[in-house]
Amino acid sequence: MTSSQEAARRLAPGRALDVDALIGDPKTRIVVCCGSGGVGKTTTAAAIGLRAAERGRKVVVLTIDPARRLAQSMGIDSLDNVPRQVKAIDGAGELHAMMLDMKRTFDEIVEAHTDKERARAILSNPFYQSLSAGFAGTQEYMAMEKLGQLRSRDEWDLIVVDTPPSRSALDFLDAPKRLGSFLDGKLIRLLMAPAKVGGRAGMKFLNVGMSMMTGALGKLLGGQLLRDVQMFVTAMDSMFGGFRTRADATYRLLQAPGTAFLVVASPERDALREAAYFVERLAADDMPLAGLVLNRVHGSGAAQLSAERALAAAENLEESGIVDQGDGKVGDRNSPENQITSEDSATDPSVTTPDPSVVTPDPSVEQLTAALLRLHAERMQLLTREQRTRDRFTALHPEVAVAEVAALPGDVHDLAGLRAVGDRLAG
């Protein structure tokens, strides 16, 4: 098979991902876009949300990525923890967008599940403030909480989630398990013990049973920090079970039939290796994978001209000598209408009189043709590499449906660009 035939090869119809059928199905309630960094997950999520809204669905797009691209492409100044409606969409539906505010989400949970006095004590606790602002895994757990909140309201026909790069997005799936490990850890259980025992017995336990641990941790962390942790754990005691319960419920929601995962990748080896890794992880966790979105796929309107033939033609033009400057071009250049005179230089300072001893020949038609042939050869070689990389992925994962999105000539920065991506997603 020649490279041009290989570059022109397309997926079999049975292996093509029907994005319109996916987002148009009223049973589809959650779409999670995941993949490695720089492959266009945010753009894909926004394009899917816009396309679904313009087909009549009420959609909210939730981004966990702190980059501002989603807001910019939707014409919104900034996004926060509250869904904001996107104006100027064409269709009967609605499109809203939001960006996860990790700390605000944590605060909302505290306020919703405790009385005012306890909530005030928790929110002002220094350990809680550090935990809610940047504790490892808190962002992913709060994303699970926010997704659960959005789904429980039953206000949205479709929730589209844009995740961080894939290795971090795995933490999105692991959040309930890691939270459970944290809450079931020996340190937390010891710190919670005084609150559970209560009264004088609890104080006796705190003063005697924890004296050794308090002394060791006090030296390591400082006495004040340890007291802050103990106060935090005591105040949060009634909430810990709720955290785990809600996280487990959201995890089951991600496994439910109404959820669809889309793995987003570019047609490059490293990105597709990450995509394969994520496909395998989703299968291991029984997560419903809808398919792979292959972004920024290059094409050519002249695929019948192979790279080999284009290079051969360019070499023939160059080696035959017919690309040298002909007399006709010199004559044209030296014709009276193309001459710059001293009068031109005097009246217009930007015009300089060329040095007659320096001859710079114009590129001939043959030279330009040879250069274009080489550019075409490079494009065909790129197409061939992309197709081979994709074919390796599909050979390893024949069960995964694929949607190819042709590369756009420029960046996506507005609704028109998102529509163009959506059109390419739908094939």
Q: Is the pLDDT of residue 154 over 50?
A: yes
Going from the C-alpha of 176 to that of each of 160, 182, 294, 363, the distances in angstroms are: 20, 10, 30, 65
Q: What is the mean pLDDT of residues 61-89?
A: 81
- Per-residue burial over 203-230, b = 16 or more CB atoms within 10 Å of its CB, e = otherwise: eebbeeebeeebeebeeeeeeeebebbb
Closest CA to 304 of 236, 215, 380, 409: 380
Question: How does DSSP classify residue 65?
Answer: S
pLDDT score recorded for residue 21: 95
Given the DSSP bridges, would you call strands 94-99 and 84-85 parallel, antiparallel or unpaired?
Answer: antiparallel
Q: Given its phi and psi angles, is residue 199 left (phi above 0), alpha (psi -120 to 50 degrees) or beta? A: left
pLDDT score recorded for residue 182: 60
Question: How does DSSP classify residue 86?
Answer: P
Helix (H) or strand (E) holding 159, with range, is strand 158-165
How far is 210 from 101, CA to CA, in rounded Å?
A: 36
Closest CA to 101 of 153, 50, 154, 139: 139
pLDDT score recorded for residue 166: 58
Closest CA to 67 of 38, 96, 34, 110: 38
Q: Residue 181 in contact with residue 60, Cβ under 8 Å?
A: no
pLDDT score recorded for residue 66: 65
Highest mean pLDDT among 63-67, 92-96, 179-183, 188-192: 92-96
Band (209; pLDDT cuts 50, 70, 90): very low
Give residue 259's identity as a one-letter amino acid code: T
Q: Is the pLDDT of residue 195 over 50?
A: no
**Mean pLDDT of all residues belonging to the chain:** 76
Give residue 38's identity as a one-letter amino acid code: G
236-285 tens-digit pLDDT: 666 666 777 777 888 889 999 999 999 999 999 998 998 999 999 999 98
Q: Is the pLDDT of residue 199 over 80?
A: no
Distance of CA 317 to the CA centre of its chain: 45
Q: Residue 260 in contact with residue 30, Cβ under 8 Å?
A: yes
Helix (H) or strand (E) holding 99, with range, is strand 94-99
How far is 390 from 299, CA to CA, in rounded Å?
A: 14
How far is 409 from 405, CA to CA, in rounded Å?
A: 12
Band (53; pLDDT cuts 50, 70, 90): very high
How far is 325 from 304, CA to CA, in rounded Å?
A: 31
Going from the C-alpha of 425 to that of each of 44, 278, 408, the distances in angstroms are: 8, 20, 12
How far is 24 from 93, CA to CA, in rounded Å?
A: 12
How many Cβ atoms are within 10 Å of 65's Cβ, its own excluded? Answer: 19
Q: Residue 86 in contact with residue 76, Cβ under 8 Å?
A: yes
Give the DSSP per-residue string, 328-370: HHHHHHTSGGGPPPHHHHHH-TT--PPPTT---PPPPHHHHHH
Q: Is the pLDDT of residue 374 over 90?
A: no
Lowest mean pLDDT among 163-177, 257-271, 272-286, 394-408: 163-177
pLDDT score recorded for residue 330: 42
How far is 265 from 274, CA to CA, in rounded Å?
A: 8
Closest CA to 63 of 172, 178, 175: 172
Q: Given its phi and psi angles, is residue 38 left (phi above 0), alpha (psi -120 to 50 degrees) or beta? A: left
pLDDT score recorded for residue 412: 84
Backbone angles phi, psi at 296, to 5 degrees: 60, 45
How far is 427 from 401, CA to CA, in rounded Å?
A: 13
117-130 tens-digit pLDDT: 888 888 888 877 77
